[in-house]
Structure 1
Amino acid sequence: MPEANNATADTTALRIASTPTTIVSAKPVVLPAPGRGEDLQVRVSAPATGSDLPVVVLSHGFGWSMDGYAPLADFWAARGFVVVQPTHLDSRTLGLPADDPRTPRIWRIRVEDLVRVLDELDALEAAVPGLAGRLDRSRTAVAGHSWGAQTASTLLGARVLGSDGVPGEDMSDARVKAGVLLTPPGRGGDDLTPFAVENLPFMNPSFDGMTTPALIVAGDRDRSALTTRGPDWFTDPYILSPGSKSLLTLFGAEHSLGGIPGYEVAETTDESPERVALIQQLTWAYLRSALDPADGSWKAAQAALEEDPHPLGSLQSK
Structure 2
Amino acid sequence: MSSSFAEAPTQAGALPAVVSIAPITLPSPGRGVDLHVRVSAPIAGDSLPVILFSHGNGQSLHAYGPLVEYWAAHGFVVIQPTHLDSRMLGLAPDDPRRPNFWRFREQDLAAILDRLDHIEGEASMIRGRLDRSRIAVAGHSWGGQTASTLLGATHPDPESGSVINRTDNRVKAGVLLAVPGSGNDLTEHAARTFPFLYPDFSTMTAPSLIVAGDQDQGGLTMRGPDWWRDAYDLSPSPKALFTVFGGEHALGGIPGYEARETTDERPQRVAAIQRLSTAFLRSALYPCNPTFSETVAKLAADTAPEGSVETK
Root mean square deviation, CA, Å = 1.7
Aligned partner of 1:154 among 136, 149, 152 = 149
| Paired residue secondary structure (2:300) | helix
Aligned partner of 1:87 among 82, 87, 104 = 82
TM-score by length of 2: 0.94
Corresponding position of 2:110:
115
1:166–1:31 CA distance, 2 compared to 1 (3 A): closer
- Distance (Å, rounded) in 2 between the aligned partners of 1:235 and 1:37: 35
Once the 2 structures are TM-superposed, how far is the Cα of residue 14 of structure 1 from its aligned partner? 8.7
Corresponding position of 1:210:
204
| Paired residue secondary structure (2:203) | coil
> Which structure has more RCO (C-alpha within 8 Å, separation ≥ 6)?
2
- Distance (Å, rounded) in 1 between the aligned partners of 2:298 and 2:54: 28
In the TM superposition, 1:170-181 aligns within 5 A as 170-181=165-176
- Distance (Å, rounded) in 2 between the aligned partners of 1:160 and 1:87: 22
Corresponding position of 1:27:
22
Provide structure 2 residue ranges, at least 5 long, that are not aligned to the other structure.
1-5
Corresponding position of 1:230:
224
TM-score by length of 1: 0.92
Once the 2 structures are TM-superposed, how far is the Cα of residue 226 of structure 1 from its aligned partner? 1.2
Provide structure 1 residue ranges, at least 5 long, that are not aligned to the other structure.
1-10
- Show CA shifts across 1:116-137 (max 9, x none): 1111111112222332111000
Is the contact between residue 159 and residue 206 of structure 1 (CA under 8 Å) also seen in structure 2? Answer: yes
Aligned partner of 1:50 among 20, 45, 68 = 45
> Does structure 1 residue 69 correspond to structure 2 residue 64?
yes
Is the contact between residue 159 and residue 167 of structure 1 (CA under 8 Å) also seen in structure 2? Answer: no
Is the contact between residue 183 and residue 255 of structure 1 (CA under 8 Å) also seen in structure 2? Answer: yes
Is the contact between residue 217 and residue 248 of structure 1 (CA under 8 Å) also seen in structure 2? Answer: yes
Is the contact between residue 158 and residue 209 of structure 1 (CA under 8 Å) also seen in structure 2? Answer: yes
- Distance (Å, rounded) in 1 between the aligned partners of 2:68 and 2:125: 19
The runs of at least 4 consecutive aligned structure 1 residues that moved more than 2 Å come to 11-15, 161-167
Aligned partner of 2:187 among 165, 171, 193 = 193
Corresponding position of 1:291:
285
- Distance (Å, rounded) in 2 between the aligned partners of 1:174 and 1:223: 34
1:83–1:163 CA distance, 2 compared to 1 (3 A): closer
| Paired residue secondary structure (1:238) | helix
Q: Which moved more, 1:253-262 or 1:117-126?
A: 117-126
| Paired residue secondary structure (1:205) | coil
In structure 1, what residue type is equivalent to 2:119? L
Is the contact between residue 68 and residue 261 of structure 1 (CA under 8 Å) also seen in structure 2? Answer: yes
Corresponding position of 2:237:
243
Aligned partner of 2:302 among 308, 312, 315 = 308
| Paired residue secondary structure (1:173) | coil
In structure 1, what residue type is equivalent to 2:274? Q
